[in-house]
Amino acid sequence: MDGSKGPKRPPVLILLGPPGAGKGTQARMLSERFGFIQLSTGDLLRAAVVAGTDAGKRAKSVMEAGGLVSDNIVLAILADRLAEPDCANGVILDGVPRTTAQAKALDTLLANAGQSIDAALALEVDDVEMVVRIAGRFTCGACGEGYHDSFKAPKVEGVCDCCGAQDMKRRADDKAETVMARLDAYHAETAPLISYYEQRGVLWRIRAMGDIDEIAAKITGVVAAITA
Ligand SMILES: [Zn+2]
């Protein structure tokens, strides 16, 4: 933890947030602004399998057998990846750690490399508002124009403003019950991680309901402060 000797160690950030909170957008913004590399579990696994590393080969055989890749394998892949030169500006982890057991193992792994989690950024949403926002979406099946029950209803109900077609489509995934179930699952899975990082004093709660640029400004402010 002594910053006075050697090169500055690259920051490690964790981005937490439910589906629909704009996590991907914010992660891209941070990558562009600070040169961080975004590492998601899926991307890590795919890349390791393609590269044929030891951990990648283990992951491949588990996935081919239809199993779930274990924490140990995911962390071994992450350790390999963090050592690559493009991670020297810092990384944003997305989807890993998933459990407090993984979080503890990750802390050990980082400590061995002289690193630690600099910030866990938790994008916070208003669940009810999220359901209204997502469940209200529909699109014209003919031209693809997007609409919303509350924010952008067509001038004539059921008729597309752009092309006049009467073929509005709603995604099954956008149903209110489905959205609510996704949010519940997110909270159940993430609550232990949030308290884990809160206890370590690295948790930042970011309200993620407003304008995308405003949310980005809040996140940028936090990241600029902790990496200064
Ligand atoms: Zn249309």
**pTM score over 0.85:** no
**Model pLDDT, residue 24:** 86
7-11, 177-181, 204-208, 216-220, range with the lowest pLDDT: 7-11
State in Å: Cα 168 to ligand 1 middle.
8
Collect residues with CB below 5 Å from ion ligand 1.
Answer: 140, 142-143, 145, 160, 162-163, 165
What's the CA gap between 228 and 225, in Å, rounded?
5
Residues 91/36, Cβ–Cβ less than 8 Å: yes
Per-residue pLDDT tens digits for 161-170: 999 999 999 9
pLDDT for residue 151 is more than 60:
yes
* Rounded Cα distance, 92 and 123, in Å: 14
Rounded distance between C-alpha atoms, residue 129 and residue 208, angstroms: 11
Q: Catalogue the active-site residues.
A: 23, 98, 137, 171, 182
Cα 9 to ligand 1 centroid, rounded to whole Å: 52
β-sheet bridge partners, residue 119: 13
pLDDT of residue 22: 86
Q: How confident is the model at residue 19 (pLDDT cuts 50, 70, 90)?
A: confident
**Mean pLDDT value across residues 104-123:** 92
pLDDT in tens, 169-202: 999 888 999 999 999 999 999 999 999 999 999 9
**Do residues 182 and 19 touch, judged by C-beta distance below 8 A?**
yes
Q: What is the mean pLDDT of residues 131-144?
A: 94
